[in-house]
Amino acid sequence: MEFENTQSELVFGKNNVTELLLSDAAVERVYLAGDPKNNNYKKIVALCKTKGIPIVHTDTNAINRKAPNVNHQGVVAYCAQKEYSSVEEILKVAQERGEAPFIIIADEIADPHNLGAILRSADAFGAHGVIISKRRAVGLTPSVAKASGGAIHYIPVARVANLAQTVDELKEKNIWVYGCDMAGENVYYEQDYAGGVALIVGSEESGISRLLREKCDFFVRIPMKGKISCLNASVAASVIMQEISKHR
């Protein structure tokens, strides 16, 4: 069976489809190649039945044509394209939780696996949302969804035209801005993260851009003892997010 033409987002992989079904996303249908009684698919089938989501039984070749060169594990789902949140909506999440804002700013992160991992950590450590740029950065693509392990369906993401202007607006709301920089003056676990926090994570190639560097209130670093001089951007972000979470 071939897939119909659609403007919906294609989500693939057993874990990612499961998280999608557990969320409030508007899932249109699930395509399954394999025995629905197989233990690998039982939870997906049960969730579809509970939510009244149709399952279309197909074959692996059909899924391969729609999702080539990815580990789809014999299952894909169509859902309504995820909408970006606004910065105001992210701040509202913090307000509704009765917490000081905790926001991650991804500066020119072009690698979908890096952004997906950042979303995953942001959700795990209680951030209220992630802000990305419309320029020189990856958006919420299916590859990002896969790398996020399902977190894309839970963590709000705002996409803005001007990150520097957005940072200024956050600072006007008494949110402190921290830059993740391997040459930072403060060790990350010795920093005080009281109050509202915006953590800026730069790309591995060029780090935090000059305009955003000028707007940081603090720079925090992760001490390195090995021969590798820096960490993957998403790994560094995760380490610091966990520390920020401890202070909240």
What confidence category does residue 48 fall into, taking pLDDT thresholds of 50, 70 and 90? Answer: very high
Q: Does residue 228 carry a pLDDT above 80?
A: no
- Is 142 contained in some domain? yes
For residue 79, what pLDDT is reported?
Answer: 77
Residue 59 near residue 3, CB atoms below 8 Å: no
192 and 209, same domain (yes or no): yes
SS3 category, 98: coil
Number of domain units in the chain? 2
Q: What length does the chain have? A: 248
> What is the per-residue pLDDT across 130-175, written as a single tens digit (0 to 9) for each?
999 988 888 887 778 888 988 988 999 999 989 999 999 999 999 9
> What is the per-residue pLDDT across 180-201, written as a single tens digit (0 to 9) for each?
988 788 999 999 999 999 999 9
Beta strand 75-79 with 9-12 is antiparallel
Contacting residues for 247 by C-beta, under 8 A, at least 6 apart: 192, 193, 194
Beta strand 55-58 with 129-133 is unpaired
98 and 186, same domain (yes or no): yes
Terminal-to-terminal C-alpha distance of the chain:
51
Q: Does residue 22 carry a pLDDT above 70?
A: yes
Residue 41 near residue 67, CB atoms below 8 Å: no
Q: Report the C-alpha gap between 201 and 203 in whole angstroms.
A: 7
What confidence category does residue 2 fall into, taking pLDDT thresholds of 50, 70 and 90? Answer: very low
More confident residue, 199 or 224: 199
Average pLDDT value for residue range 74-88: 84
For residue 23, what pLDDT is reported?
Answer: 84
218 and 101, same domain (yes or no): yes
156 and 237, same domain (yes or no): yes
Express as a percent the part of the chain with pLDDT over 70.
Answer: 95
197 and 115, same domain (yes or no): yes
Which of 55-64, 82-91, 138-147, 176-185 has the least mean pLDDT? 138-147
Average pLDDT value for residue range 78-107: 91
28, amino acid identity: E
For residue 69, what pLDDT is reported?
Answer: 79
Q: Determine phi and psi for 171, rounding to 5 degrees.
A: -65, -30
Q: Report the C-alpha gap between 245 and 104 in whole angstroms.
A: 12
Average pLDDT value for residue range 57-84: 82
Average pLDDT value for residue range 214-228: 88
For residue 3, what pLDDT is reported?
Answer: 46
39 and 91, same domain (yes or no): no
Q: Find how far residue 55's CA is from the centre of its chain.
A: 27
Residue 98 near residue 127, CB atoms below 8 Å: no
Q: Read off the CATH number of the domain in which 54 is found.
A: 3.30.1330.30
Q: What is the mean pLDDT of the chain?
A: 88
Q: Does residue 227 carry a pLDDT above 50?
A: yes
Average pLDDT value for residue range 97-105: 97
What confidence category does residue 39 fall into, taking pLDDT thresholds of 50, 70 and 90? Answer: confident
109 and 38, same domain (yes or no): no
Q: Where is 160: in which H helix or E strand?
A: strand 157-160
Q: Read off the CATH number of the domain in which 127 is found.
A: 3.40.1280.10
Q: Where is 213: in which H helix or E strand?
A: helix 210-213
Q: Report the C-alpha gap between 99 and 91 in whole angstroms.
A: 10
Choosing from 48, 79, 110, the residue where a domain stops is 79
Closest CA to 56 of 74, 68, 83, 80: 74
Three-point CA angle 220, 146, 59, nearest 5°: 170
Q: Find how far residue 215's CA is from the centre of its chain.
A: 24
Average pLDDT value for residue range 19-43: 84
pTM of the model: 0.74
